[in-house]
Homo-oligomer: A and B are copies of this chain.
């Protein structure tokens, strides 16, 4: 029952990822997160300075883990093999709709944050994306066009999963069967 503050913070991040993914930043109350953690609501504010901080921690964790999946899937591979491996890994990752939604919530929050004047959040997110693109580009053989196409299909899958199409209904989902342009 009783944990160290560090362990509790970890539980809070996990719970927050689920709840924010489900209902977004504004739609999630700290009460809900606390209930999932199994702790009183005011205690969250001992572990984090604000609700914003909890969201930021959850978003960062989400990106970290996403990159980790890409990296591990394509380790030691190049070109076409790397692309197929990453496609498969991403398709699997994203099958967990809740996890994907956290990613989507982050995209949406960038704009809201910029509107609210917190400019550096957007810059950080863009940098992460650029890095991801560069790494993918290198793994798939260096061609910008190939990498672009890979990312484009990824974003399509994001949208379809977000909208809740069951896998078998995505008849246009050529992501992991797709054999490229050439």
Residue contact A122 to B174, C-beta cutoff 8 Å: no
Residue contact A114 to B164, C-beta cutoff 8 Å: yes
Whether A23 sits at the interface, judged by CB under 8 Å, is yes
Number of copies: 2
Q: In residues 29-85 of chain A, which contact B (Cβ within 8 Å)?
A: none
Are A156 and B163 CB-contacts (below 8 A) given A26-B26, A101-B111? no
Chain B proximity of A59: nearest CB distance (Å): 12
Interface size for A (C-beta < 8 A) is 46
Are A23 and B110 CB-contacts (below 8 A) given A155-B158, A172-B148, A174-B148? no
Q: Which residues from chain B contact A129 at a C-beta distance below 8 Å?
A: 159, 163
Residue contact A110 to B26, C-beta cutoff 8 Å: no
Residue contact A172 to B147, C-beta cutoff 8 Å: yes
Chain B proximity of A94: nearest CB distance (Å): 13
Q: Which residues from chain B contact A112 at a C-beta distance below 8 Å?
A: 22-24, 27
Whether A91 sits at the interface, judged by CB under 8 Å, is no
Interface residues of A (CB under 8 A from B): 21-27, 97, 101, 104-105, 107-108, 110-112, 114-116, 122, 125-126, 129, 133, 137, 144-145, 147-149, 151-153, 155-156, 158-159, 162-165, 171-174, 181
Q: Known pairs A26-B26, A27-B112, A122-B164. 14 more at Cβ < 8 A?
A: A23-B115, A25-B26, A104-B108, A104-B111, A105-B108, A108-B108, A108-B162, A126-B164, A137-B172, A144-B172, A148-B172, A151-B172, A152-B155, A155-B156
The 10 tightest CB contacts between A and B, nearest first, are A26-B26, A155-B155, A152-B156, A148-B172, A152-B152, A26-B27, A181-B181, A107-B162, A155-B156, A22-B115
